[in-house]
A = this chain, B = another copy of it.
Amino acid sequence: MRSYRLFCLWLALASGSALAAGSGQTGALLFGLFWVVLAAAVMGTLASKLGIPAVVGQVVAGILIGPSVLELVRPETFFLTLAEIGAIFLLFMVGLETRLGELLRVGREALLVAVLGIALPLALGFGFGLWQGQTNVSALFVGTALVATSVGITAKVLQELGVLGERFAQVILGAAVIDDILGLTLLAVVSGLGNGEELSAAQVGLTLGLSVGFVAAVLALGIPLVRRAQPRLQRLSLSRAFNVALVVGLGLAALSTVAGLAPIIGAFLAGMVLAEVKDEVAFESKVHAIEAFLAPVFFVVVGLQLDLGTLTQPTVVVAGLALTLLAVVGKLLGGLLGARTLGPREATLVGLGMVPRGEVGLIVASLGLGAGLIGETVYAEVLLMVLLTTIVAPLVLRAMWRRERLVQQAP
């Protein structure tokens, strides 16, 4: 009996490796993907039935099937990359819903929200780190982890609620782009400091200029270009139009990394550019299908990376809760002050929308841990902050929007 099971196992491995031509990983990855998709479907549906954003259910699904609990899937490069592609298609779709004109109309608010939403959490996190007795560099890393906003989480919640066209949602999206430009520049500076290489003001200016220039160039050149190409695009078959959308979306996502931006920013810009012709050229339904497949993978993979095994000491939990409080206060204040022209309720929604730290907070913390700039304890505290902001903010945002709408609908 035992030899039979061994033989089955051997065969499974042999045929699993079938397409990997010797790497032997593909079969296991396929099973992993099955678990990810199954968990996302089950927990997403359950969450929706409970009146909770599906995103939250999917992040929890990732925690459940990940290293913390069931250990069915590990956050390997394959899943991280597939998740990134999922986030790319998500922001591409969100971009398709976004018109540049409307975004520019709230440009001042978005800029203020982004700048305040970076300055306040950075200062709070840095102060907290110093107060804890961390080194300057370690405290700076904590501050930087508090800066990161995961726009993917919020964007999905806004998409689910069908409010991407609302003014507060436009502020969030605009702020997210600026947040990414400033945040990645900050990360470059802080990482440089950690390595003992101080970046000159000229270099920082260059980095900033490159990112800003990329965004401006894509929009300034892309939109007229797409408009001019419209007659030709309209004549394309559905499958060719879809190919064009894929090439533009993935191309700008890849290019944005060269400009020092996250790939999702490039995908968002690609969506905004193609939004100009989406009513005339049919490709949206196909892009939507890919988003429906891969965006849940992104949320589950965020959960996979949240290894709760590190949260064992009560002191870490207490410090993590304090850090979470600062993380929330920093972004909420940033939203309230930056978007005060929208009124206190919408400004609160903006602040809430900037709260989830998701994968971006994890990246900063992982970079710091990997480079030996922060310790295991600080990493665990940041992890708890990421977990709570990622899961709780969407819950509050959704509940608040629902109440808001009821108030509006009442006479």
A contact set with B: CB distance below 8 Å:
4, 7-8, 10-12, 14-23, 25-27, 29-31, 33-34, 37-38, 41, 44-45, 75, 77-78, 80-85, 87-88, 184, 187-188, 191, 203, 206-207, 210, 239-240, 242-244, 246-247, 250-251, 253-254, 257-258, 260-263, 285-290, 292-293, 305, 359-360, 362-363, 366-367, 370
Give Cα A261–Cα B14 distance, bound, in whole angstroms.
Answer: 10
Q: A interface, by DSSP: helix, strand, loop or mixed?
A: helix
Residues from chain B with a CB closer than 8 A to the CB of A288 are 289
- Which single member of B10, B184, B239, B289 contacts A242 (CB below 8 Å)? B289
In contact, B19 and A80 (Cβ under 8 angstroms): yes
A203 touches B21 (CB 8 A): no
- Which B residue's beta carbon lies closest to that of A264? B19
Give Cα distance in the complex from A11 to B250, angstroms: 19
Partner among B22, B34, B88, B290 whose Cβ is within 8 Å of the Cβ of A289: B290
Q: Compute how far the CA of A367 lies from the CA of B13 in the bound complex, rounded to whole angstroms.
A: 12
Q: A34: which of B8, B247, B360 is its contact (CB, 8 Å)?
A: B247
- 13 of the cross-chain contacts (CB-CB < 8 Å) are A11-B184, A15-B260, A15-B261, A19-B83, A21-B75, A21-B362, A25-B81, A26-B84, A27-B254, A31-B254, A33-B85, A34-B250, A289-B289
Q: How many whole Å from A160's CB to the nearest CB in chain B?
A: 11
Nearest Cβ in chain B — how far from A278, in angstroms? 15
Which of the residues B77, B187, B262, B293 comes within 8 Å of A23, measured between beta carbons?
Answer: B77
* Chain B residues within an 8 Å CB radius of A31: 254, 257
Contact of A21 among B41, B80, B188, B285 (CB under 8 A): B80
A261 to B12, CA, bound (A): 8
Q: Which residue of B lies closest to A187 (CB)?
A: B14
Task: Given A14-B191, A21-B362, A240-B45, decide whether A38 and B247 contact each other with a Cβ distance below 8 A.
Answer: yes
Q: Is there contact, CB below 8 Å, between A292 and B239?
A: yes
Task: Give min CB distance, A27 to chain B, whole Å.
Answer: 5
Q: Which of B21, B30, B85, B246 contacts A263 (CB 8 A)?
A: B30
The answer to whether A292 and B20 touch (CB under 8 A), given A8-B210, A30-B250, A260-B11, is no
B-chain residues with CB within 8 Å of residue A207 when the two chains form the complex: 7, 11
- Please, how many angstroms separate the alpha-carbon atoms of A85 and B78 in the complex? 12
Q: Please tell me if the beta carbons of A18 and B260 are within 8 angstroms of each other in the complex.
A: no
User: Inside 8 A of A263's CB, which chain B residues have their CB?
Assistant: 15, 18-19, 27, 30
Rounded to whole Å, the gap between the CB of A178 and the closest CB of chain B is: 16
Closest chain B residue to A27, Cβ basis:
B257
Taking each of A31, A188, A253, A359, which has the highest tally of chain B beta carbons within 10 Å of its own beta carbon? Answer: A31
CB distance from A248 to the nearest CB of B (A): 10
Given contacts A11-B260, A80-B19, contact A243 B41 (CB under 8 A): yes
A242 surroundings in chain B (CB, below 8 A): 289, 292-293
Contact B253 A30 (CB under 8 A): yes
Residues of B within 8 A of A16 (CB): 257
Q: Are A26 and B80 in contact (CB under 8 A)?
A: yes
The docked-state distance in angstroms from the alpha carbon of A253 to that of B35 is 12
Q: Do A11 and B188 have beta carbons less than 8 Å apart?
A: yes
